[in-house]
């Protein structure tokens, strides 16, 4: 008889002969090996994919202008850094490369050199073949927008940290020197130009002396800016109903809401929403007669002749015209532009010794304090209309003679 050797395995000289002992229950348990641990795969999303998600995030309550700014930065960043770069591979080196390219990027490069990528335009500028580069302030503005995106990416767990944190260029121009107020000489040239003294017409021949005194956007917008400190687009987007009596005081109402259904109004910041009592000078110049005429004509916009720009911003076209106007009037100087009227108005508030908080309320300025340290601003109802009106009545505008405009 043949015996299977496997059956005899384990049986030796020490094997006991006798009844078979029962096997403990624990010995009968069968163990299976654990499955191998697979390391998590890196996200396959690209830099461009994640940036698109940020731009289209429905929880972001951006204004049209803010969204346009972020969209401009997105285009630059994806062009320079590369939309196909895996988001997990994005590092501080890419941020440094972004800065180095922007440092040599010409102004309006996409319009001036449409066939060149941002990197190609920057390379030509580095070689001295292109000039008129963007400023350090512009570069830092793009860095701020990029950093906002990267902070969002960290919160959404696309990145572990923000590689751009703390990166900024030193600004060669002190903040207070970026824009100057118009000098008294400049103001005299502006408000004694034929447009205000008498011109051929208010359209193409506004700079030629004549007998016409047109009451239009070109005439009124600089005057309103001087006497209110309003931003250019705040003036350009006014509805005819944005001049109205509040508690018996005639005011400009700066708001993104409309009583006549306008959809083009937007504000720069939360503090921009305000009311500004109308200075007596504007009344003497005939502002209310102009407003009544617009209302009787069935107009909803106070300055409807200003067409909205490609992004719905009316200030773009007027800003270009005003630059040309100051040149023709001999009033153009470095570091002055339409926004200089806002600086003039702030100086006027200082000259009249207007209380600091009242001045901020009229001009729609913030005090620069952080949200936590500025908690007191959330208490109370703010300044009453009478307080604001008393402040406006104290403004004299003695650095410019406007007597020839009084009716």
- pLDDT band (50, 70, 90) for residue 268: confident
State the pLDDT at residue 182. 97
Q: What is the pLDDT of residues 313-327, one digit of tens each?
A: 889 899 999 999 999
Scan for tokens 């697979």, then name that residue.
38
In this prediction, residues 135-139 reach a mean pLDDT of 91
Indicate if the alpha-carbon torsion angle 119, 125, 128, 129 is positive or negative.
positive
State the pLDDT at residue 372. 39
Query: How far, in whole angstroms, is CA 314 from its chain's centroid?
Result: 16
Both tokens assigned to 43: 């996200």
Please list the residue range(s) of the chain that carry CATH number 1.10.150: 47-177
The DSSP 8-state label assigned to residue 239 in this structure reads B
- pLDDT band (50, 70, 90) for residue 383: confident
- pLDDT band (50, 70, 90) for residue 379: very low
Rounded to two decimals, the pTM is 0.69
In this prediction, residues 288-305 reach a mean pLDDT of 96
Scan for tokens 């395995």, then name that residue.
9
Domain 47-177 has CATH 1.10.150: yes
Asked whether residue 377 carries a pLDDT value surpassing 80, the answer given is: no
In this prediction, residues 109-132 reach a mean pLDDT of 92
Q: What is the pLDDT of residues 11-60, one digit of tens each?
A: 444 444 455 555 455 445 555 566 665 544 545 899 999 999 999 999 98
State the pLDDT at residue 331. 97
Q: What is the pLDDT of residues 329-356, one digit of tens each?
A: 999 998 899 999 999 999 999 999 999 9
Which backbone phi and psi does 222 adopt, to 5 degrees?
Answer: -60, -40
Which percentage of the chain shows pLDDT scores above 90? 69
Residues 6+ apart with CB under 8 A from 395: 227, 279, 348, 349, 352
State the pLDDT at residue 60. 85
In this prediction, residues 250-273 reach a mean pLDDT of 89
Which percentage of the chain shows pLDDT scores above 70? 84
In order, the DSSP letters of 74-88 are HHHHIIIIITTSBGG
In this prediction, residues 147-157 reach a mean pLDDT of 96
State the pLDDT at residue 40. 45
Please list the residue range(s) of the chain that carry CATH number 1.10.443: 184-368+381-405
Average pLDDT of the residues of the chain? 87
- pLDDT band (50, 70, 90) for residue 133: very high
Asked whether residue 378 carries a pLDDT value surpassing 90, the answer given is: no
State the pLDDT at residue 323. 95
- Picking from 157, 123, 146, the residue whose alpha carbon sits closest to that of residue 70 is 146
State the pLDDT at residue 382. 72
Residues in the chain, overall count = 407
162: region left, alpha or beta (phi > 0 left; psi from -120 to 50 alpha): beta
Task: Indicate the helix (H) or strand (E) that contains 145.
Answer: helix 136-155
CATH number for the domain whose boundaries are 184-368+381-405:
1.10.443
Q: Is 212 helix (H, G, I), strand (E, B) or coil?
A: strand
- pLDDT band (50, 70, 90) for residue 358: very high
CA dist., res. 222 & res. 46, Å (int): 48
Q: What is the pLDDT of residues 37-47, one digit of tens each?
A: 554 454 589 99
Task: Indicate the helix (H) or strand (E) that contains 277.
Answer: strand 274-277
């Amino acid at each position: 008889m043949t015996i299977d050797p496997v059956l005899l395995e384990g049986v030796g000289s020490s094997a006991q002969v006798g009844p078979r002992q029962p096997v403990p229950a624990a010995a009968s348990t069968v163990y299976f090996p654990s499955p191998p641990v697979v390391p998590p795969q890196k996200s396959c999303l690209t830099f461009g994919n994640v940036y698109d998600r940020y731009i289209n995030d429905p929880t972001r309550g951006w204004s049209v202008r803010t969204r346009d700014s972020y969209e401009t930065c997105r285009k630059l960043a994806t062009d320079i850094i590369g939309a196909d770069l895996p988001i997990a591979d994005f590092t501080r080196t890419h941020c440094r490369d972004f800065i180095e390219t922007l440092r040599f990027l010409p102004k309006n490069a996409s319009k001036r050199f449409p066939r060149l990528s941002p990197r190609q335009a920057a390379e030509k500028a580095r070689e001295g073949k292109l000039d008129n580069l963007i400023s350090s302030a512009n570069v830092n503005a793009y860095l701020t927008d990029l950093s906002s995106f990267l902070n969002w990416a960290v919160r959404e767990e696309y990145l572990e940290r923000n590689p751009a944190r703390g990166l900024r260029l030193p600004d060669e121009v002190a903040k207070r020197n970026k824009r100057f107020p118009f000098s008294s000489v400049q103001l005299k040239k502006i408000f004694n130009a034929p447009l205000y003294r008498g011109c051929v017409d208010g359209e193409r021949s506004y700079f030629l002396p004549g007998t016409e005194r047109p009451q239009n956007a070109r005439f009124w917008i600089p005057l309103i800016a001087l006497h209110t400190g309003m931003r250019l687009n705040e003036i350009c987007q006014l509805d005819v109903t944005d001049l109205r009596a509040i508690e018996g005081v005639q005011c400009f109402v700066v708001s993104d809401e409309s009583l006549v259904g306008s959809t083009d109004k937007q504000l720069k910041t939360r503090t921009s929403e305000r009311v500004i009592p109308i200075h007596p000078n504007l009344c003497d110049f005939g502002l209310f007669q102009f407003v009544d005429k617009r209302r009787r004509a069935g107009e909803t916009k106070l300055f409807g002749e200003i067409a909205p720009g490609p992004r719905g911003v009316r200030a773009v076209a007027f800003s270009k015209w005003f630059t040309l106007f100051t040149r023709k009037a001999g009033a153009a100087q470095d570091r002055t532009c339409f926004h200089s009227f806002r600086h003039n108005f702030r100086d006027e508030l200082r000259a009249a010794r207007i209380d600091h908080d009242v001045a901020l309320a009229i001009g729609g300025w913030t005090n620069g304090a952080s949200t936590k340290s500025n908690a007191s601003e959330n208490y109370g109802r703010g300044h009453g209309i009478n307080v604001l009106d008393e402040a406006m009545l104290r403004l004299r505008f003695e650095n410019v003679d406007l007597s020839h405009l009084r009716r």
